Structure 1
Amino acid sequence: MAGRASISRASPHRLNSGPARRSTCGETRPSITPSSRSKPCLGRLRPMMTPPDLTPDLALEAVTAAAATEAPARDADGAFPTAAFEALRALGVTANPPLGGRQMTRLLALLAAAGRGDLSVGRIFEGHCNTLFLIQAHGTAEQRNNWFEAAASGALYGIWNTDQPGAPLRLENGVLLGGKSFSTGIDGLDRAIVTIDDGPKRQMITVPLAGLAVDRSWWRPVGMRASGSHIVDFTGLKVDPEWLLGGPGDYVGQPWFTAGAMRFAAVQVGGMHAILDLTLDHLSKT
């Protein structure tokens, strides 16, 4: 039948598709045969776009390269990615990440770029940004000044909500008891926000991290070892009233709590882009 592909009798494994076709790369290609593979056409692929509000000297490729610093070694030994965060500090993204409502495009692009370099670094960086967002949204003037000034000097932060199984974090007579699991970044952070139950709602508390007991035995992931999401025991830590952040229920306030999923999703998108990078690199060499 005219216009339809047919199997050639002279070569039963050859697919004849009529006249040669023009590919998306512009060159003319012959009919496809199982016996001959052409190189993949990569001409129309583009690197990750840089949002227009990113300054030229802060290209996303630089963020990805910074996050990737020593990534294979840190994934092998599970140590905190110190060198990567030194590189990110040098770019200025940890001191003053874009947190305003009109800066969401920029923030998501930065998080994706970090995840593209190393998912562990991206995950820790996202927690740092989330912490500063909550401090900015719910902190007193003194808390905002202290936390942002420390960030400008290189401090890194995290936020941990998941309670330790069998020993949830709680506040009794001004003293913390119990712990948090999935305490991402504990080995390299300076301070964190943790949550406790205050009646039916969750209350945020800002805590220093020096000297706390850390259980590293249970964190045995297939990947992202350098995120160091260990169990931290806060038992015996006396809470200063000034450590309280916001009021009960502020942590899960909408739409910000649900919308926060966009941040860690952006990191994961960066990881998927890294897989695409590796795939295209492999195909270009085969």
Structure 2
Amino acid sequence: MNFKVSCELEYQLNNPATFLFALRCIQTGGQTIQNERLEVNPYVDVEDFHIMSGMNRFSRIRTMNSGNLSITYQAEVDTTFRIVNLSDIPADHASEMNPEGIPFLFPSRYCQSDVLRQQANDLFGHLQGSYDIASGISDWIYENISYVSGSSGETSSAVDTLEQKEGVCRDFAHLGIAMCRALNVPARYATVYAYQLDPPDFHACFEVFIGGWWYFFDPTRLAPLNGLVRIATGRDAADAAVCTIFGDPMLQKSVISCELNDSGFVPITRDSLVTAGQAIALL
């Protein structure tokens, strides 16, 4: 599928500031960037670099003057995904796990899996198999955590979300990751552009590593799983934040868009996957 994604961010600058943006899509084995453009107005130098072994692309912008700063990104991206029958997904025990998944077994800044181990066992310890555990966790979050815009902040963690029983997509993903890791299922965070997300915004989901593939889950169920365009991936939002700011700029405007250039789109949702006995992995 071919998507056109874009974002426009505008800041009010009062003092010198440094921005680390993760706005640009990444190129993977199943995601190809056909064209892209990043513009900054007024013009300042942009330093581009990769971290997390090439998983994330960052743009560093340093500003010295006061006034408005506008950042615009546009890209056309081809994406593919893999549909797998649940009967073909292995149990994948930690003793036999591909090393790629091992770093995502451990606690991280926003996903304190060690703190939540008892709660995870109480809620999901009866489930067998990594995929069933991840599915049970994602479904439980959808059914028990309220999606409330503005209900959390940059310091909110999985523990906070579980206690408060509310959050946004970032919080839903962190709680899913922490619960999965607490039960020895490798899980990671993904920031995406999301087709049919209403209202349009940056979106966050989580993936679990089983049998050499990363399977996708969105506990918010706010967008089709085959309508996601990957921006960044990491242990949690600390690795994949859309913007990290050193200074005191104020965000004045944020406009996000994800449009489909192809026709005949059939949304793949959690319900449709359950009905078909299948899982989805973004490539």
| TM-score, reference length from structure 2 | 0.24
| TM-score, reference length from structure 1 | 0.24
Q: Which structure: greater helix fraction?
A: 1
Considering only CA atoms, is the larger Rg found in Structure 1 or Structure 2?
Answer: 1
